[in-house]
Amino acid sequence: MTLAVSCDVIVVGKSATFGYPEIDLGVLPAIHFVHLPRLIGRHRAFELVNRVVPDAELETETFELAAVLAAKPEAAMRAGRAAFMRQIDRDYRRRIAEAVEDFCEIAASKAAQARLRAFAAKRGPK
């Protein structure tokens, strides 16, 4: 999910799955709580993909989309993306700092620490 949230465009095969394993480990995917709603709106925050294609067509579709984007004027694409990112990132640093604080608070708990140790040891939590 972290990689996907960091991308400008996402193309996946039908078998792709996304999730938040952090929750199973007793911690929060807090930074995603900042990114997703800002990227796609709060009601679609878990519908993250731009295109879903049959797995066998994933590579072809991805390269075709990349070719379309690469054929556009580079300066306009760079300027447009930079302008877009400035608009959506106005409060980004403050929100990221708050998300990090939320993550650290829950990650420092005894329950989260036990789950993280279990995960590192490749065993279930006690």
Q: pLDDT tens across 49-97, in order?
A: 678 899 999 999 999 989 988 988 888 888 877 877 776 677 777 888 8
Residues 56, 62, 68, 71, CA torsion sign? negative
121 compared with 96, residue with greater pLDDT: 121
- Tens digits of residue pLDDT in 86-97: 766 777 778 888
Q: Name residue 77's amino acid.
A: M
CA angle 18, 20, 23 (to 5 degrees): 160
- What are the tokens at 37? 């709603």
Q: What is the reported pTM?
A: 0.50
DSSP 11-70: EEETT-----HHHHTT---HHHHHHHHHHH-GGGTT---SEEE-GGGHHHHHHHHHHHHH
CATH code of the domain made up of 2-120:
3.90.226.10
| Residue spans per domain, the chain | 2-120
